[in-house]
Amino acid sequence: MRKPEECTEKAHIREEIDRIDKSLVALFAQRDAYVRRMAEIKSDPSEARVEARVKDVLDKVLAELEAVDLAPDLYMQFWEELIEVNIDYEAATIAARLADKNDTPGA
């Protein structure tokens, strides 16, 4: 692992970005596992969006971004989209589970 200031060639920078991207994918996979588990636990699609929780997550992310001096305008947009994708996934998963349950004979 090279620090940015130790990179003397574009290839070095690309290698480090690729390494970081690999780590990010692994972290997103971990996060996704929790989102999927949440969808299993919730019992109604309306539970997918909890405005207080969305605000709490975004407030925490904003504080982290500011602490490391990253551009909130750019990264907050990314995080908002990530949350929306997760909410949509949860709602659709819960709705599908309920539909399957209602389609099951004897349900």
User: Between residues 82 and 101, which one has the greater pLDDT?
Assistant: 82
The pLDDT-based confidence of 106 (bands split at 50, 70, 90) is: low
What secondary structure letter does DSSP report for 6?
G
Q: Of 100, 96, 95, 93, whose CA–CA distance to 32 is shortest? A: 93
Mean pLDDT across the chain, nearest whole number?
A: 95
Tokens of 100: 């399957």
For the chain, percent of residues with pLDDT exceeding 90: 92
Distances from the Cα of 75 to the Cα of 17, 38, 55, 70, 71, angstroms: 17, 24, 15, 8, 6
For 14-64, what is each residue's pLDDT tens digit?
999 999 999 999 999 999 999 999 999 999 999 999 999 999 999 999 999
Instruction: Return the number of other C-beta atoms located less than 10 Å from residue 83's C-beta.
Output: 17
